[in-house]
Structure 1
């Protein structure tokens, strides 16, 4: 993997307590939609998802977040509530737009709580996870697979550290001071990739 190329392929924005990530894929919008909503395909690149997968129904990501499906307009918009552990509920919306040569994928995670967690890690706390998700989706859409141990490999650790730094830059661009944005990004990098260099 070319880490710099993968990181630079993603646009990151912080708007208050909202993070927005976007990336283009060389795939038809229907294929991207199916990869994001079909439980069998999701399990290949994201995590297993179960539940009543329809508007108003509840979903659960194995070992992760769950919530309610708030909006489902195939193949363009999926919006869900996002409940993870003891964190206050937030919302995630995926938007797909056909563009020349493929699909523009946008993910907006909104209503993130400005609390001790945000103070400590900033937007990278969720941002690095979404970067990993976007990378995994790209691998799946290309018909490839990462090795089973990729998530704990040195390459993955480099990717997560680079992602955390990119989120620190987006945080600073949104108005946070350089010192606070860098400190939060460094704490995020240490969380995702302990012992990094």
Structure 2
């Protein structure tokens, strides 16, 4: 896939099954998706290859929304989906780019190593912006999993 790429690696003390579930259960996803100052207002996910997702969140710049299609759902090791912004405030309008997000879950001692990769972003500036947002979201995921902050 062409375009800029970002990668974030995190280790959680929870099992791969538990981390995978937190990344695929819409009721849990709604608690951690989005940067720290954002709140998810809607999240729907049909968690199967070919299934779709859509979500909306509200934060300081306003409402933002994205959608995508699940390409691979292999519990508890791999989750891959597309990502496309569908709504944003004037300073962050949707760019029309469809990127791909891959979550790789692997046992790491008594916990899980999560490798999060987003590729196909417009440019490095967008990749850096997404990295900040996803880093904050993955911090929120850690809090849900009982990680110290």
**TM-score, normalization: structure 2?**
0.76
Q: Which has the higher helix share?
A: 1
2:109 maps to 1:100:
yes
Correspondence for 2:144: 140
1:58 maps to which of 52, 57, 60:
52
Correspondence for 1:31: 18
Shift of 1:122: 5.0
CA distance in 2, matches of 1:50, 1:75: 20
Larger Rg computed on CA atoms: 1
Indicate conservation of the 8 Å contact 2:12/2:147, yes or no.
Answer: no
Correspondence for 1:123: 127
In the comparison of the two structures, how many residue pairs are matched? 125
Indicate conservation of the 8 Å contact 2:47/2:73, yes or no.
Answer: no
Q: Which runs of 5+ in 2 are unaligned?
A: 34-39, 58-64, 87-93
RMSD: 2.0
Indicate conservation of the 8 Å contact 2:26/2:45, yes or no.
Answer: no
Shift of 1:53: 2.5
Indicate conservation of the 8 Å contact 2:13/2:147, yes or no.
Answer: no
**TM-score, normalization: structure 1?**
0.58
Correspondence for 1:21: 8
SS at match of 2:23: helix
- Which runs of structure 2 are paired with 1:1-197 in the superposition (5 Å)? 17-46=4-33, 47=40, 48-63=42-57, 64-85=65-86, 86-87=94-95, 88-114=97-123, 118=124, 121=125, 123-142=127-146
SS at match of 2:100: strand
Shift of 1:101: 2.2
